[in-house]
Structure 1
Amino acid sequence: MKKKFFLYLSLFTSVFLIDQISKLWAIKNLINNSINIFPGLNLSLIFNRGIVFGTFNSNSTVLFLIVSSIIILISIFFATYLFWRYKKNFDITPEILVLAGALSNILDRFVHHGVIDFIDTYVKTYHWPTFNLADTFIFVGLFIIFARELKEGFKNES
């Protein structure tokens, strides 16, 4: 159990640091600058004060605090779920991805007054909302959790 704990802690720390380092790089290199990697992918810095995909993005301090508080509460509930799964000796790798990404984005909210997003993907004139590596880790973790729960549901029906 101790070995697993340190593996999970290492994964959490790695995901958190990779995201934070990428954001520091973005702040240093993308202020007033956009980098075209190839058609369909730009690196462009934005500060998202809203939630996923820029929803509720606003300069309103009250809205920012409400959204941030809700995100923190959801993260606390999710961390509680993660620790419950850990105590039951379940694999919590996808939960670690989600929590590390969420906490990295929460840190941005308080240090930079918004989440640092910089990955801009597009097809022709349609741009997907700008995102960051934490968002990617969160998406992958949630996808794995959803697939796992779906698989378990089908198993229980059989």
Structure 2
Amino acid sequence: MLKLFTETGWRFLWLSVLVLVADQYTKALVLDNIELYQAIQILPFFNFTHVYNYGAAFSFLHDAGGWQRWFFTIIAFAVSALVLWWSKQTTKQQIMLPIAFSLIIGGAIGNAYDRLVHGYVIDFLVLYYQDWYWPAFNVADSAICIGAVLLIIDMFKNKEEKND
């Protein structure tokens, strides 16, 4: 059993827990300290703005009537289970891939927890330039995006190594 957590990608699952804790902690701070729709300017291009996302990325299906809450929750747990299984398949020599998997798992579970408990995802990080605003996001979304970028980098890195 110890080998499972020392010689596979599961050795990075602490990162999933760290993402989950950081995500839920920051969301609790937002709930306790920022009114809904209140924006607090941090930098000339960055606000903390308390909003709810009833859909998926970029509020996709936010007005679908409620079924999307359960649909996205099921998808998050199914993807997390699949990624957890993939992570177990990685070797001790692989580092970037299991780190990417762990970031994705932590982020997916963080947002799924919000959907289960609140019925929506709490978002609060907003980037903008003049009148152009990037959709609000959170720590979990950031972890998922970083994990996805690392997956892409790993894919190209491994392709180059196989061609050598």
TM beyond 0.5: yes
Taking structure 1 as the reference length, the TM-score comes to 0.88
Partner of 1:28: 32
Partner of 2:17: 13
Contact 2:80 2:104 in 1 (8 A): no
Q: Count residues in correspondence.
A: 156
CA distance in 1, matches of 2:89, 2:108: 18
CA distance in 1, matches of 2:65, 2:80: 22
Describe the superposition over 1:101-143 as per-residue Cα deviations: whole angstroms up to 9, x where unpaired.
1111110110111111100110110100100011111111111
Which residue identity does 2:22 align to in structure 1?
Answer: I
Partner of 2:153: 147
Taking structure 2 as the reference length, the TM-score comes to 0.85
Contact 1:47 1:114 in 2 (8 A): yes
Structure 2 unpaired stretches of 5+? none
Verify: 1:43 aligned to 2:55, yes or no: no
Which residue identity does 1:106 align to in structure 2?
Answer: A
CA distance in 1, matches of 2:103, 2:76: 16
Which residue identity does 1:146 align to in structure 2?
Answer: I
CA distance in 2, matches of 1:78, 1:109: 20
Which residue identity does 2:133 align to in structure 1?
Answer: H
Alignment of 1:5-154 (within 5 A): 8-32=12-36, 33-58=38-63, 60-85=65-90, 88-89=91-92, 90-91=94-95, 92-154=98-160
1:155 deviates by: 2.1
CA distance in 1, matches of 2:14, 2:72: 29
Q: Percent identity?
A: 24
CA distance in 2, matches of 1:78, 1:98: 8
CA distance in 1, matches of 2:22, 2:114: 14
Query: Partner of 1:130: helix, strand, or coil?
Result: coil
CA distance in 1, matches of 2:67, 2:136: 23
Contact 1:58 1:64 in 2 (8 A): no
CA distance in 1, matches of 2:153, 2:85: 21
1:78 deviates by: 1.6
CA distance in 2, matches of 1:3, 1:70: 28
Structure 1 unpaired stretches of 5+? none
CA distance in 2, matches of 1:131, 1:13: 19
1:3 deviates by: 5.1
Q: Please, what is the CA RMSD of the aligned residues?
A: 2.0
